[in-house]
């Protein structure tokens, strides 16, 4: 990867490839980070499983007219 100071002489196609490379590296890092569960993530998952997806018996809808 060229230095930012060296970006001026790049052709538009070279700039596009450089940008695509930077974005691809970012996506790979993001996916790797998301794949690594942390202790907090495990705790949140356990808490959400314990709570369940149940709807409360009483549902209240409110509509405001203007």
Q: 16 or 60: whose pLDDT is higher?
A: 16
Q: What pLDDT does residue 64 have?
A: 74
Q: Which two tokens stand for residue 57?
A: 């018996």
* pTM assigned to the model: 0.44
Q: How far apart are CA 19 and CA 13, in angstroms?
A: 10
Task: List, for residues 39-48, the tens digit of each pLDDT value.
Answer: 666 666 666 6
Task: List, for residues 2-55, the tens digit of each pLDDT value.
Answer: 555 566 788 999 999 999 999 999 999 888 877 766 666 666 666 666 556 666
């Amino acid at each position: 990867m060229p230095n930012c100071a060296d970006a001026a002489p790049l052709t538009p196609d070279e700039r596009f490839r450089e940008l695509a490379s930077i974005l691809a590296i970012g996506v790979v890092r993001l996916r790797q980070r998301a794949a690594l569960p942390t202790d907090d993530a495990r705790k949140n998952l356990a808490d959400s499983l314990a709570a369940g997806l149940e709807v409360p018996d009483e549902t209240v809808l409110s509509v405001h007219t203007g």
